[in-house]
Structure 1
Amino acid sequence: MKNRMKLSALVMLMLPAFVQAQQLFNTPELAAQSFATAVISQDEAALTEVLGDNWRQYLPDEKADPEAVARFVRDWKVSHNIEEQGETAHLNVGQENWQLPIPMVKTQAGWHFDMQRAADEILTRTIGLNELSAIQAVQAYVAAQQDYYQLDQQYAQKFVSTEGKKDGLYWPAVPGEAPSPLGPSFSPVQPGMGYHGYHFRILTAQGADAPGGAKNYISDGKMTEGFALIAWPVEYGETGVATFMVNNQGVVYQKDLGEETAEKVQEIKEFNPDKSWQEEQQ
Protein backbone atom coordinates (compact mmCIF):
# COMPACT_ATOMS: atom_id res chain seq x y z
CA MET A 1 0.00 0.00 0.00
CA LYS A 2 2.83 2.34 0.92
CA ASN A 3 4.61 1.66 -2.38
CA ARG A 4 1.39 2.29 -4.32
CA MET A 5 1.00 5.64 -2.57
CA LYS A 6 4.58 6.58 -3.43
CA LEU A 7 3.95 5.64 -7.06
CA SER A 8 0.75 7.69 -7.14
CA ALA A 9 2.57 10.67 -5.68
CA LEU A 10 5.31 10.32 -8.29
CA VAL A 11 2.73 10.22 -11.08
CA MET A 12 1.00 13.31 -9.70
CA LEU A 13 4.33 15.14 -9.63
CA MET A 14 5.12 14.10 -13.18
CA LEU A 15 1.70 14.88 -14.64
CA PRO A 16 1.81 18.68 -14.29
CA ALA A 17 5.33 18.66 -15.74
CA PHE A 18 4.05 16.78 -18.78
CA VAL A 19 1.11 19.13 -19.26
CA GLN A 20 3.42 22.13 -19.05
CA ALA A 21 5.96 20.48 -21.34
CA GLN A 22 3.55 19.71 -24.16
CA GLN A 23 0.25 21.30 -25.01
CA LEU A 24 -2.84 19.18 -25.67
CA PHE A 25 -5.52 20.10 -28.21
CA ASN A 26 -9.17 19.28 -28.79
CA THR A 27 -8.60 18.65 -32.50
CA PRO A 28 -5.61 17.96 -34.77
CA GLU A 29 -6.53 21.12 -36.69
CA LEU A 30 -5.90 23.22 -33.59
CA ALA A 31 -2.61 21.41 -32.98
CA ALA A 32 -1.49 22.05 -36.56
CA GLN A 33 -2.49 25.73 -36.36
CA SER A 34 -0.49 26.22 -33.16
CA PHE A 35 2.53 24.51 -34.69
CA ALA A 36 2.37 26.63 -37.84
CA THR A 37 1.92 29.83 -35.85
CA ALA A 38 5.00 29.03 -33.75
CA VAL A 39 7.06 28.27 -36.86
CA ILE A 40 5.92 31.36 -38.76
CA SER A 41 6.60 33.66 -35.79
CA GLN A 42 9.87 31.84 -35.03
CA ASP A 43 8.72 31.54 -31.43
CA GLU A 44 10.82 28.75 -29.93
CA ALA A 45 9.05 28.95 -26.57
CA ALA A 46 5.70 28.39 -28.27
CA LEU A 47 7.20 25.59 -30.35
CA THR A 48 8.41 23.91 -27.17
CA GLU A 49 4.91 24.11 -25.71
CA VAL A 50 3.49 22.47 -28.83
CA LEU A 51 6.15 19.77 -29.30
CA GLY A 52 7.35 19.24 -25.73
CA ASP A 53 10.49 20.15 -23.79
CA ASN A 54 12.59 17.38 -25.32
CA TRP A 55 11.60 17.85 -28.96
CA ARG A 56 15.15 18.69 -30.06
CA GLN A 57 16.52 15.31 -29.01
CA TYR A 58 14.36 13.65 -31.67
CA LEU A 59 15.44 15.84 -34.57
CA PRO A 60 18.59 15.04 -36.60
CA ASP A 61 20.11 18.55 -36.50
CA GLU A 62 20.44 21.13 -33.76
CA LYS A 63 19.27 23.87 -36.09
CA ALA A 64 16.47 23.70 -38.61
CA ASP A 65 17.30 24.28 -42.26
CA PRO A 66 16.19 27.89 -42.98
CA GLU A 67 15.21 26.96 -46.53
CA ALA A 68 13.07 24.08 -45.29
CA VAL A 69 11.35 26.36 -42.77
CA ALA A 70 10.70 29.01 -45.44
CA ARG A 71 9.33 26.34 -47.77
CA PHE A 72 6.98 25.05 -45.06
CA VAL A 73 5.69 28.57 -44.32
CA ARG A 74 5.11 29.23 -48.01
CA ASP A 75 3.33 25.93 -48.52
CA TRP A 76 1.21 26.41 -45.39
CA LYS A 77 -0.04 29.73 -46.75
CA VAL A 78 -0.89 28.11 -50.10
CA SER A 79 -2.95 25.31 -48.56
CA HIS A 80 -3.05 22.96 -45.60
CA ASN A 81 -5.21 20.04 -44.55
CA ILE A 82 -5.34 17.26 -42.00
CA GLU A 83 -5.15 13.60 -43.00
CA GLU A 84 -6.72 11.63 -40.17
CA GLN A 85 -6.57 7.86 -39.75
CA GLY A 86 -8.10 6.59 -36.55
CA GLU A 87 -6.23 8.12 -33.63
CA THR A 88 -3.37 9.40 -35.77
CA ALA A 89 -3.34 12.51 -37.94
CA HIS A 90 -0.82 14.20 -40.25
CA LEU A 91 -0.53 17.74 -41.53
CA ASN A 92 -0.22 18.15 -45.31
CA VAL A 93 0.79 21.48 -46.83
CA GLY A 94 1.18 23.03 -50.27
CA GLN A 95 -0.04 22.12 -53.72
CA GLU A 96 1.94 18.87 -53.62
CA ASN A 97 0.46 17.91 -50.24
CA TRP A 98 3.86 17.58 -48.55
CA GLN A 99 3.37 15.75 -45.26
CA LEU A 100 4.95 16.98 -42.04
CA PRO A 101 6.84 13.99 -40.58
CA ILE A 102 5.53 14.69 -37.07
CA PRO A 103 2.32 12.74 -36.47
CA MET A 104 -0.39 13.92 -34.11
CA VAL A 105 -1.91 11.26 -31.87
CA LYS A 106 -5.10 11.20 -29.86
CA THR A 107 -5.18 10.26 -26.20
CA GLN A 108 -7.93 10.50 -23.61
CA ALA A 109 -6.57 13.93 -22.67
CA GLY A 110 -6.49 15.26 -26.24
CA TRP A 111 -4.33 15.50 -29.36
CA HIS A 112 -0.58 16.08 -29.22
CA PHE A 113 2.45 15.80 -31.48
CA ASP A 114 4.33 12.52 -31.05
CA MET A 115 8.03 13.33 -31.33
CA GLN A 116 9.22 9.77 -30.79
CA ARG A 117 7.24 8.56 -33.79
CA ALA A 118 8.43 11.64 -35.67
CA ALA A 119 12.03 10.51 -35.19
CA ASP A 120 11.19 7.19 -36.87
CA GLU A 121 9.46 8.92 -39.79
CA ILE A 122 12.31 11.39 -40.24
CA LEU A 123 14.84 8.55 -40.23
CA THR A 124 12.83 6.64 -42.83
CA ARG A 125 12.65 9.69 -45.08
CA THR A 126 16.35 10.45 -44.61
CA ILE A 127 17.31 6.92 -45.62
CA GLY A 128 15.02 7.10 -48.64
CA LEU A 129 16.50 10.40 -49.81
CA ASN A 130 20.06 9.20 -49.23
CA GLU A 131 19.46 6.02 -51.21
CA LEU A 132 17.94 8.01 -54.06
CA SER A 133 20.97 10.32 -54.01
CA ALA A 134 23.29 7.30 -54.03
CA ILE A 135 21.56 5.88 -57.12
CA GLN A 136 21.85 9.23 -58.87
CA ALA A 137 25.50 9.45 -57.83
CA VAL A 138 26.44 6.05 -59.28
CA GLN A 139 24.64 7.00 -62.49
CA ALA A 140 26.65 10.22 -62.57
CA TYR A 141 29.79 8.13 -62.10
CA VAL A 142 28.94 6.08 -65.20
CA ALA A 143 28.50 9.24 -67.27
CA ALA A 144 31.73 10.71 -65.87
CA GLN A 145 33.73 7.60 -66.77
CA GLN A 146 32.36 7.70 -70.30
CA ASP A 147 33.37 11.35 -70.60
CA TYR A 148 36.82 10.61 -69.20
CA TYR A 149 37.33 7.84 -71.75
CA GLN A 150 36.73 10.32 -74.55
CA LEU A 151 39.56 12.44 -73.15
CA ASP A 152 42.16 9.76 -72.44
CA GLN A 153 41.02 6.52 -74.12
CA GLN A 154 40.92 4.79 -70.75
CA TYR A 155 38.77 4.86 -67.62
CA ALA A 156 39.90 6.57 -64.44
CA GLN A 157 41.08 4.36 -61.59
CA LYS A 158 40.43 6.97 -58.90
CA PHE A 159 38.02 9.78 -58.14
CA VAL A 160 40.37 12.69 -57.45
CA SER A 161 43.37 13.40 -59.64
CA THR A 162 46.91 13.68 -58.36
CA GLU A 163 47.77 17.33 -57.83
CA GLY A 164 48.77 18.88 -61.15
CA LYS A 165 47.49 15.90 -63.15
CA LYS A 166 44.26 14.67 -64.70
CA ASP A 167 44.50 11.02 -63.76
CA GLY A 168 41.20 10.95 -61.84
CA LEU A 169 37.61 11.89 -62.55
CA TYR A 170 37.97 15.22 -60.75
CA TRP A 171 40.57 17.96 -60.99
CA PRO A 172 40.33 21.69 -60.22
CA ALA A 173 39.59 23.50 -63.47
CA VAL A 174 41.50 26.68 -64.27
CA PRO A 175 39.68 29.71 -65.71
CA GLY A 176 38.62 29.09 -69.28
CA GLU A 177 39.04 25.31 -68.97
CA ALA A 178 36.18 22.83 -69.23
CA PRO A 179 35.20 21.29 -65.87
CA SER A 180 36.34 17.79 -64.96
CA PRO A 181 33.93 14.90 -65.62
CA LEU A 182 33.04 14.58 -61.93
CA GLY A 183 32.87 16.84 -58.89
CA PRO A 184 34.93 16.25 -55.72
CA SER A 185 32.05 14.94 -53.60
CA PHE A 186 32.89 11.24 -54.01
CA SER A 187 36.10 11.75 -52.06
CA PRO A 188 35.27 13.98 -49.06
CA VAL A 189 37.96 16.01 -47.32
CA GLN A 190 37.12 14.50 -43.93
CA PRO A 191 37.45 10.69 -43.85
CA GLY A 192 34.23 8.90 -42.97
CA MET A 193 31.93 11.72 -44.05
CA GLY A 194 30.68 10.15 -47.24
CA TYR A 195 28.35 11.79 -49.74
CA HIS A 196 24.68 12.03 -48.73
CA GLY A 197 25.28 9.25 -46.22
CA TYR A 198 27.14 6.92 -48.60
CA HIS A 199 30.70 5.78 -49.28
CA PHE A 200 31.91 4.94 -52.80
CA ARG A 201 34.72 2.73 -54.09
CA ILE A 202 35.88 1.97 -57.62
CA LEU A 203 36.03 -1.72 -58.61
CA THR A 204 38.59 -2.77 -61.22
CA ALA A 205 37.30 -6.24 -62.11
CA GLN A 206 34.11 -8.24 -62.50
CA GLY A 207 33.15 -11.78 -61.53
CA ALA A 208 31.55 -14.75 -63.22
CA ASP A 209 28.00 -13.59 -62.44
CA ALA A 210 28.49 -10.26 -64.22
CA PRO A 211 27.30 -9.90 -67.83
CA GLY A 212 30.19 -11.05 -70.02
CA GLY A 213 31.75 -13.19 -67.31
CA ALA A 214 34.85 -12.68 -65.19
CA LYS A 215 37.55 -10.30 -66.33
CA ASN A 216 39.99 -7.69 -65.13
CA TYR A 217 39.25 -4.17 -66.30
CA ILE A 218 42.93 -3.22 -66.15
CA SER A 219 45.25 -4.17 -69.00
CA ASP A 220 48.89 -3.03 -69.15
CA GLY A 221 48.26 -0.69 -66.24
CA LYS A 222 45.33 1.06 -67.91
CA MET A 223 41.65 0.49 -67.15
CA THR A 224 40.34 -0.02 -70.66
CA GLU A 225 38.15 -3.12 -70.35
CA GLY A 226 35.36 -1.55 -68.32
CA PHE A 227 34.69 -0.02 -64.92
CA ALA A 228 32.49 -0.54 -61.87
CA LEU A 229 31.55 1.10 -58.59
CA ILE A 230 30.12 0.06 -55.24
CA ALA A 231 28.27 2.39 -52.85
CA TRP A 232 27.31 1.55 -49.27
CA PRO A 233 25.84 3.47 -46.31
CA VAL A 234 28.19 5.32 -43.96
CA GLU A 235 26.13 3.99 -41.05
CA TYR A 236 23.80 1.10 -41.76
CA GLY A 237 20.23 1.78 -40.66
CA GLU A 238 20.96 5.45 -40.01
CA THR A 239 22.16 6.94 -43.31
CA GLY A 240 21.04 4.12 -45.59
CA VAL A 241 20.19 0.44 -45.85
CA ALA A 242 20.84 -0.75 -49.41
CA THR A 243 24.26 -1.24 -51.00
CA PHE A 244 24.49 -0.42 -54.72
CA MET A 245 26.73 -1.58 -57.57
CA VAL A 246 27.03 -0.50 -61.19
CA ASN A 247 29.38 -1.19 -64.09
CA ASN A 248 29.99 0.30 -67.52
CA GLN A 249 26.67 -1.09 -68.80
CA GLY A 250 24.90 1.36 -66.49
CA VAL A 251 22.57 -1.10 -64.75
CA VAL A 252 22.34 -0.40 -61.02
CA TYR A 253 22.02 -3.36 -58.65
CA GLN A 254 21.10 -3.25 -54.97
CA LYS A 255 21.27 -5.54 -51.96
CA ASP A 256 20.71 -5.27 -48.22
CA LEU A 257 23.92 -6.59 -46.67
CA GLY A 258 22.56 -6.20 -43.14
CA GLU A 259 24.15 -4.95 -39.94
CA GLU A 260 27.60 -6.11 -41.07
CA THR A 261 27.48 -4.06 -44.27
CA ALA A 262 30.75 -2.22 -43.56
CA GLU A 263 32.64 -5.48 -43.05
CA LYS A 264 31.03 -7.32 -45.97
CA VAL A 265 31.71 -4.47 -48.40
CA GLN A 266 35.43 -4.66 -47.68
CA GLU A 267 35.35 -8.26 -48.91
CA ILE A 268 33.81 -7.24 -52.25
CA LYS A 269 36.68 -6.76 -54.69
CA GLU A 270 34.82 -7.11 -57.99
CA PHE A 271 31.53 -6.34 -59.67
CA ASN A 272 29.66 -9.62 -59.36
CA PRO A 273 25.88 -9.22 -58.98
CA ASP A 274 24.64 -12.77 -58.41
CA LYS A 275 20.97 -13.68 -57.95
CA SER A 276 20.93 -12.17 -54.47
CA TRP A 277 21.33 -8.70 -56.01
CA GLN A 278 18.25 -6.98 -57.41
CA GLU A 279 18.26 -4.77 -60.46
CA GLU A 280 17.21 -1.25 -59.54
CA GLN A 281 14.14 -0.18 -61.49
CA GLN A 282 14.80 3.03 -63.39
Structure 2
Amino acid sequence: MKSFEHPAHRSGYWWIMLFLALPAVLFLPWAASDARAEAQKKFSSPEEAVQALVAAIRAGDVKAMITILGPGGKELVSSGDDLADKVGRDKFLRSYDQKNALQQGTGGKTILCTGDDSWPMPIPIVRKGGQWAFDSMSGKREILQRRVGRNELHVMDVLHAYVDAQQEYAGKNCSGTGLVEFAQRIVSSAGKHDGLYWEAKEGEDQSPLGPLVAKAAKEGYANPELNPFHGYYFRVLRGQGKHAKGGTYNYVVKDRMILGFGLVAYPAEYGNSGVMTFIVNQEGVIYQKNLGKDTRRKAEAMKVFDPDKTWKKVADTEKKD
Protein backbone atom coordinates (compact mmCIF):
# COMPACT_ATOMS: atom_id res chain seq x y z
CA MET A 1 0.00 0.00 0.00
CA LYS A 2 1.45 3.22 -1.12
CA SER A 3 0.69 5.82 1.50
CA PHE A 4 1.14 3.78 4.66
CA GLU A 5 3.53 0.88 4.56
CA HIS A 6 2.70 -2.43 6.21
CA PRO A 7 5.73 -3.09 8.36
CA ALA A 8 6.14 -6.57 9.72
CA HIS A 9 4.33 -6.55 12.99
CA ARG A 10 3.45 -8.70 15.93
CA SER A 11 -0.18 -7.80 16.20
CA GLY A 12 -0.64 -9.41 19.57
CA TYR A 13 1.97 -7.17 21.06
CA TRP A 14 0.56 -4.09 19.45
CA TRP A 15 -2.76 -4.77 21.11
CA ILE A 16 -1.03 -5.65 24.32
CA MET A 17 1.68 -3.05 24.45
CA LEU A 18 -0.53 -0.03 24.20
CA PHE A 19 -4.24 0.48 23.83
CA LEU A 20 -3.32 3.57 21.85
CA ALA A 21 -1.39 1.70 19.25
CA LEU A 22 -4.15 -0.41 17.82
CA PRO A 23 -7.33 0.58 19.52
CA ALA A 24 -9.39 1.05 16.48
CA VAL A 25 -11.43 -0.71 13.95
CA LEU A 26 -14.35 1.51 13.47
CA PHE A 27 -13.64 5.12 13.38
CA LEU A 28 -15.23 8.25 14.63
CA PRO A 29 -14.70 11.56 12.82
CA TRP A 30 -11.38 13.24 13.45
CA ALA A 31 -11.44 14.88 16.83
CA ALA A 32 -11.36 18.62 17.33
CA SER A 33 -8.08 20.26 16.46
CA ASP A 34 -5.25 20.15 18.95
CA ALA A 35 -5.36 23.92 19.02
CA ARG A 36 -8.54 23.65 21.05
CA ALA A 37 -7.20 20.86 23.25
CA GLU A 38 -6.41 21.40 26.87
CA ALA A 39 -2.79 21.99 27.83
CA GLN A 40 -0.85 18.78 28.19
CA LYS A 41 -0.40 17.59 31.74
CA LYS A 42 3.16 17.42 33.03
CA PHE A 43 4.60 15.40 35.89
CA SER A 44 7.42 15.50 38.40
CA SER A 45 8.84 12.17 37.23
CA PRO A 46 8.43 9.53 34.50
CA GLU A 47 6.99 7.19 37.13
CA GLU A 48 4.27 9.69 37.98
CA ALA A 49 3.45 10.13 34.28
CA VAL A 50 3.04 6.38 33.78
CA GLN A 51 0.94 5.99 36.92
CA ALA A 52 -1.39 8.77 35.77
CA LEU A 53 -1.83 7.26 32.30
CA VAL A 54 -2.47 3.78 33.67
CA ALA A 55 -5.00 5.15 36.15
CA ALA A 56 -6.82 6.97 33.34
CA ILE A 57 -6.90 3.81 31.24
CA ARG A 58 -8.25 1.73 34.14
CA ALA A 59 -10.97 4.31 34.69
CA GLY A 60 -11.78 4.55 30.98
CA ASP A 61 -11.33 8.32 31.29
CA VAL A 62 -10.74 9.35 27.67
CA LYS A 63 -10.51 13.06 28.48
CA ALA A 64 -7.78 12.40 31.04
CA MET A 65 -5.88 10.18 28.59
CA ILE A 66 -5.92 12.92 25.96
CA THR A 67 -4.75 15.54 28.46
CA ILE A 68 -1.92 13.27 29.58
CA LEU A 69 -0.81 12.41 26.04
CA GLY A 70 -1.08 15.97 24.80
CA PRO A 71 -0.88 17.15 21.15
CA GLY A 72 -1.71 14.33 18.76
CA GLY A 73 -3.22 12.24 21.51
CA LYS A 74 -6.82 12.40 20.33
CA GLU A 75 -6.28 10.30 17.22
CA LEU A 76 -4.37 7.77 19.29
CA VAL A 77 -6.91 7.46 22.09
CA SER A 78 -10.07 7.36 19.97
CA SER A 79 -9.97 5.34 16.79
CA GLY A 80 -13.73 5.52 16.44
CA ASP A 81 -14.17 1.87 17.33
CA ASP A 82 -15.32 1.80 20.94
CA LEU A 83 -15.08 -1.97 21.10
CA ALA A 84 -11.56 -2.13 19.71
CA ASP A 85 -10.51 0.73 21.97
CA LYS A 86 -11.69 -1.22 25.02
CA VAL A 87 -10.05 -4.44 23.85
CA GLY A 88 -6.77 -2.63 23.31
CA ARG A 89 -6.89 -0.94 26.69
CA ASP A 90 -7.65 -4.21 28.46
CA LYS A 91 -4.74 -5.95 26.73
CA PHE A 92 -2.40 -3.09 27.58
CA LEU A 93 -3.42 -3.28 31.23
CA ARG A 94 -2.91 -7.05 31.32
CA SER A 95 0.55 -6.62 29.85
CA TYR A 96 1.35 -3.77 32.23
CA ASP A 97 0.16 -5.76 35.24
CA GLN A 98 2.16 -8.75 34.09
CA LYS A 99 5.40 -6.77 34.08
CA ASN A 100 6.44 -3.17 33.62
CA ALA A 101 9.63 -1.18 33.81
CA LEU A 102 11.04 2.17 32.75
CA GLN A 103 14.18 2.12 30.63
CA GLN A 104 16.45 4.93 29.50
CA GLY A 105 16.39 5.60 25.78
CA THR A 106 18.49 7.85 23.59
CA GLY A 107 18.43 11.62 23.96
CA GLY A 108 17.32 11.50 27.58
CA LYS A 109 14.03 9.80 26.74
CA THR A 110 12.40 7.34 29.13
CA ILE A 111 10.58 4.34 27.66
CA LEU A 112 7.84 2.28 29.30
CA CYS A 113 8.30 -1.44 28.64
CA THR A 114 5.57 -3.96 29.42
CA GLY A 115 5.00 -7.69 29.41
CA ASP A 116 7.38 -10.61 29.77
CA ASP A 117 9.14 -9.56 26.57
CA SER A 118 9.55 -5.97 27.77
CA TRP A 119 7.92 -4.58 24.64
CA PRO A 120 8.68 -0.83 24.39
CA MET A 121 5.82 1.66 24.25
CA PRO A 122 6.34 3.80 21.12
CA ILE A 123 5.54 7.05 22.96
CA PRO A 124 8.51 8.12 25.08
CA ILE A 125 8.43 10.27 28.19
CA VAL A 126 10.62 13.37 27.88
CA ARG A 127 11.71 16.22 30.11
CA LYS A 128 10.04 19.56 29.34
CA GLY A 129 10.85 22.67 31.33
CA GLY A 130 11.94 20.75 34.38
CA GLN A 131 8.94 18.40 34.27
CA TRP A 132 8.09 15.19 32.43
CA ALA A 133 5.48 14.54 29.73
CA PHE A 134 4.60 12.02 27.03
CA ASP A 135 5.95 12.91 23.57
CA SER A 136 3.00 11.58 21.55
CA MET A 137 3.98 13.21 18.28
CA SER A 138 7.25 11.27 18.03
CA GLY A 139 5.47 7.91 18.10
CA LYS A 140 2.23 8.88 16.39
CA ARG A 141 3.20 8.04 12.81
CA GLU A 142 4.43 4.56 13.70
CA ILE A 143 1.29 3.86 15.71
CA LEU A 144 -1.07 4.98 12.95
CA GLN A 145 0.90 3.04 10.32
CA ARG A 146 0.56 -0.15 12.28
CA ARG A 147 -3.12 0.45 13.02
CA VAL A 148 -3.84 1.13 9.36
CA GLY A 149 -1.79 -1.85 8.20
CA ARG A 150 -3.56 -4.23 10.55
CA ASN A 151 -7.01 -3.05 9.51
CA GLU A 152 -6.22 -3.21 5.81
CA LEU A 153 -4.96 -6.78 6.13
CA HIS A 154 -8.19 -7.70 7.94
CA VAL A 155 -10.21 -6.09 5.16
CA MET A 156 -8.55 -8.16 2.45
CA ASP A 157 -9.40 -11.31 4.39
CA VAL A 158 -13.02 -10.16 4.54
CA LEU A 159 -13.09 -9.53 0.77
CA HIS A 160 -11.80 -13.04 0.10
CA ALA A 161 -14.43 -14.42 2.47
CA TYR A 162 -17.11 -12.40 0.67
CA VAL A 163 -16.19 -13.89 -2.71
CA ASP A 164 -16.22 -17.42 -1.29
CA ALA A 165 -19.53 -16.78 0.46
CA GLN A 166 -21.20 -15.49 -2.71
CA GLN A 167 -20.07 -18.55 -4.63
CA GLU A 168 -21.40 -20.82 -1.89
CA TYR A 169 -24.67 -18.88 -1.76
CA ALA A 170 -25.22 -19.36 -5.50
CA GLY A 171 -24.04 -22.97 -5.56
CA LYS A 172 -26.35 -24.07 -2.74
CA ASN A 173 -29.41 -22.24 -4.04
CA CYS A 174 -29.66 -20.37 -0.74
CA SER A 175 -32.23 -17.99 -2.23
CA GLY A 176 -34.58 -20.92 -2.82
CA THR A 177 -35.40 -19.76 -6.37
CA GLY A 178 -33.66 -22.57 -8.21
CA LEU A 179 -31.57 -19.97 -10.04
CA VAL A 180 -27.85 -19.33 -9.80
CA GLU A 181 -28.38 -16.17 -7.80
CA PHE A 182 -26.03 -14.06 -5.70
CA ALA A 183 -26.97 -12.21 -2.52
CA GLN A 184 -27.68 -8.49 -2.75
CA ARG A 185 -27.22 -8.05 0.98
CA ILE A 186 -24.57 -8.97 3.49
CA VAL A 187 -27.02 -9.63 6.32
CA SER A 188 -30.40 -11.15 5.43
CA SER A 189 -33.69 -9.40 6.07
CA ALA A 190 -35.55 -10.74 9.09
CA GLY A 191 -36.84 -14.26 8.42
CA LYS A 192 -35.27 -14.41 4.95
CA HIS A 193 -32.21 -15.83 3.22
CA ASP A 194 -31.63 -12.85 0.94
CA GLY A 195 -28.21 -12.07 2.37
CA LEU A 196 -24.97 -13.92 2.99
CA TYR A 197 -25.68 -14.22 6.69
CA TRP A 198 -28.76 -15.30 8.61
CA GLU A 199 -29.18 -16.76 12.05
CA ALA A 200 -29.37 -20.48 11.43
CA LYS A 201 -32.16 -22.34 13.18
CA GLU A 202 -31.67 -25.70 14.84
CA GLY A 203 -30.94 -28.32 12.18
CA GLU A 204 -30.45 -25.67 9.50
CA ASP A 205 -27.21 -25.27 7.57
CA GLN A 206 -25.03 -22.37 8.59
CA SER A 207 -25.17 -19.35 6.29
CA PRO A 208 -22.23 -18.71 3.91
CA LEU A 209 -20.91 -15.88 6.06
CA GLY A 210 -21.79 -17.65 9.28
CA PRO A 211 -18.20 -18.38 10.37
CA LEU A 212 -17.05 -14.81 9.73
CA VAL A 213 -20.04 -13.22 11.46
CA ALA A 214 -19.70 -15.65 14.36
CA LYS A 215 -16.08 -14.62 14.77
CA ALA A 216 -17.07 -10.95 14.60
CA ALA A 217 -19.80 -11.50 17.18
CA LYS A 218 -17.31 -13.21 19.46
CA GLU A 219 -15.12 -10.12 19.16
CA GLY A 220 -18.14 -8.03 20.07
CA TYR A 221 -19.12 -6.63 16.68
CA ALA A 222 -22.72 -6.23 15.58
CA ASN A 223 -24.31 -5.91 12.13
CA PRO A 224 -21.46 -5.29 9.62
CA GLU A 225 -23.87 -3.46 7.32
CA LEU A 226 -24.63 -0.88 10.01
CA ASN A 227 -21.31 -0.66 11.82
CA PRO A 228 -17.72 -0.54 10.61
CA PHE A 229 -15.80 -3.79 10.97
CA HIS A 230 -12.07 -3.57 11.71
CA GLY A 231 -12.15 0.09 10.73
CA TYR A 232 -13.99 -0.35 7.43
CA TYR A 233 -17.47 -0.06 5.96
CA PHE A 234 -18.64 -2.51 3.28
CA ARG A 235 -21.16 -1.99 0.48
CA VAL A 236 -22.44 -4.40 -2.16
CA LEU A 237 -21.93 -3.28 -5.78
CA ARG A 238 -24.63 -4.38 -8.22
CA GLY A 239 -22.90 -3.84 -11.54
CA GLN A 240 -19.60 -3.19 -13.26
CA GLY A 241 -18.12 -0.52 -15.51
CA LYS A 242 -16.18 -0.48 -18.75
CA HIS A 243 -12.82 -1.12 -17.11
CA ALA A 244 -13.92 -4.45 -15.62
CA LYS A 245 -13.45 -7.73 -17.45
CA GLY A 246 -16.46 -8.17 -19.76
CA GLY A 247 -17.26 -4.46 -19.90
CA THR A 248 -20.27 -2.58 -18.61
CA TYR A 249 -23.36 -4.43 -17.41
CA ASN A 250 -25.65 -4.75 -14.43
CA TYR A 251 -25.39 -7.79 -12.23
CA VAL A 252 -29.08 -7.51 -11.40
CA VAL A 253 -31.70 -8.72 -13.88
CA LYS A 254 -35.39 -8.46 -12.96
CA ASP A 255 -34.49 -7.78 -9.33
CA ARG A 256 -32.23 -10.82 -9.10
CA MET A 257 -28.42 -10.58 -8.96
CA ILE A 258 -27.47 -13.37 -11.34
CA LEU A 259 -24.65 -12.00 -13.51
CA GLY A 260 -22.03 -11.32 -10.87
CA PHE A 261 -21.36 -9.44 -7.66
CA GLY A 262 -19.09 -6.77 -6.27
CA LEU A 263 -18.07 -5.21 -2.98
CA VAL A 264 -16.37 -1.98 -1.93
CA ALA A 265 -14.63 -1.59 1.42
CA TYR A 266 -13.64 1.89 2.57
CA PRO A 267 -12.15 3.28 5.78
CA ALA A 268 -14.59 4.68 8.28
CA GLU A 269 -12.05 7.36 9.12
CA TYR A 270 -9.50 8.12 6.45
CA GLY A 271 -5.93 8.11 7.74
CA ASN A 272 -6.93 6.80 11.15
CA SER A 273 -8.70 3.49 10.56
CA GLY A 274 -7.37 2.99 7.06
CA VAL A 275 -6.06 4.70 3.95
CA MET A 276 -6.88 2.48 1.00
CA THR A 277 -10.32 1.73 -0.45
CA PHE A 278 -10.69 -1.81 -1.81
CA ILE A 279 -12.99 -3.34 -4.43
CA VAL A 280 -13.55 -6.91 -5.61
CA ASN A 281 -15.99 -8.75 -7.88
CA GLN A 282 -16.73 -12.31 -8.97
CA GLU A 283 -13.26 -12.62 -10.52
CA GLY A 284 -11.80 -12.56 -7.01
CA VAL A 285 -9.10 -9.98 -7.77
CA ILE A 286 -8.80 -7.22 -5.17
CA TYR A 287 -7.98 -3.67 -6.26
CA GLN A 288 -6.96 -0.76 -4.07
CA LYS A 289 -6.92 3.02 -4.39
CA ASN A 290 -6.23 5.96 -2.13
CA LEU A 291 -9.33 8.14 -2.54
CA GLY A 292 -7.92 10.86 -0.29
CA LYS A 293 -9.58 12.89 2.42
CA ASP A 294 -12.91 12.74 0.59
CA THR A 295 -12.86 8.94 0.72
CA ARG A 296 -16.17 8.38 2.44
CA ARG A 297 -18.23 10.53 0.06
CA LYS A 298 -16.57 9.02 -3.02
CA ALA A 299 -16.94 5.45 -1.80
CA GLU A 300 -20.58 5.88 -0.82
CA ALA A 301 -21.30 7.29 -4.29
CA MET A 302 -19.75 4.22 -5.94
CA LYS A 303 -22.37 2.03 -7.63
CA VAL A 304 -20.32 -0.32 -9.82
CA PHE A 305 -17.07 -2.25 -9.85
CA ASP A 306 -14.91 -0.27 -12.28
CA PRO A 307 -11.14 -0.57 -11.72
CA ASP A 308 -9.61 1.91 -14.16
CA LYS A 309 -5.85 2.48 -14.36
CA THR A 310 -5.88 4.48 -11.12
CA TRP A 311 -6.77 1.30 -9.22
CA LYS A 312 -3.93 -1.12 -8.46
CA LYS A 313 -4.18 -4.87 -8.09
CA VAL A 314 -3.32 -6.12 -4.64
CA ALA A 315 -0.47 -8.60 -4.86
CA ASP A 316 -1.32 -12.30 -4.67
CA THR A 317 -5.08 -11.84 -5.14
CA GLU A 318 -5.27 -12.57 -8.85
CA LYS A 319 -6.53 -16.00 -9.77
CA LYS A 320 -3.92 -18.44 -11.00
CA ASP A 321 -4.70 -20.72 -13.93
Show structure 1 runs of 5+ residues with no match: 1-17, 26-30
**Equivalences, count:** 249
Which of structures 1 and 2 has the bigger CA Rg? 1
Q: CA deviation at 1:246?
A: 1.0
Q: Superposed, which structure 2 residues align to 1:171-250 within 5 Å?
A: 171-182=198-209, 183=213, 185-188=223-226, 193-250=227-284
The structure whose RCO (Cα within 8 Å, separation 6+) is larger is 2
Provide the TM-score with structure 1 as the length reference.
Answer: 0.69
CA distance in 1, matches of 2:245, 2:182: 19
Q: 2:42 aligns with which of 9, 13, 22?
A: 22
Q: Superposed, which structure 2 residues align to 1:49-198 within 5 Å?
A: 54-55=68-69, 58=74, 59-60=77-78, 65=87, 67-73=90-96, 76=99, 82=103, 84-86=105-107, 90-94=111-115, 98-105=119-126, 109=130, 112-115=133-136, 117=138, 122-152=143-173, 153-182=180-209, 183=213, 185-188=223-226, 193-198=227-232
**Cα pair distance change 1:119/1:221, threshold 3 Å:** same
Give the share of equivalent positions with the same residue, in percent.
36
Q: CA deviation at 1:201?
A: 0.9
**Cα pair distance change 1:96/1:168, threshold 3 Å:** farther
Q: CA deviation at 1:166?
A: 0.7
Q: CA deviation at 1:91?
A: 4.3
**Cα pair distance change 1:206/1:114, threshold 3 Å:** same
Deviates more, 1:83-92 or 1:163-172: 83-92
- For 2:23, the equivalent position in structure 1 comes to none
- Secondary structure (helix, strand or coil) at the match of 2:186 reads coil
Q: Does 1:253 align with 2:287?
A: yes
Provide the TM-score with structure 2 as the length reference.
Answer: 0.62
1:67 is matched by which residue type in structure 2?
D
CA contact under 8 A between 2:243 and 2:306: conserved in structure 1?
Answer: yes
Show structure 2 runs of 5+ residues with no match: 1-38, 174-179, 214-221, 317-321
CA contact under 8 A between 1:102 and 1:121: conserved in structure 2?
Answer: no
CA contact under 8 A between 1:32 and 1:91: conserved in structure 2?
Answer: no
- For 1:267, the equivalent position in structure 2 comes to 301
CA distance in 2, matches of 1:55, 1:84: 19
CA contact under 8 A between 2:49 and 2:132: conserved in structure 1?
Answer: no
CA distance in 2, matches of 1:161, 1:127: 30
CA contact under 8 A between 1:83 and 1:91: conserved in structure 2?
Answer: no
Quote the RMSD (CA, aligned, Å): 3.9
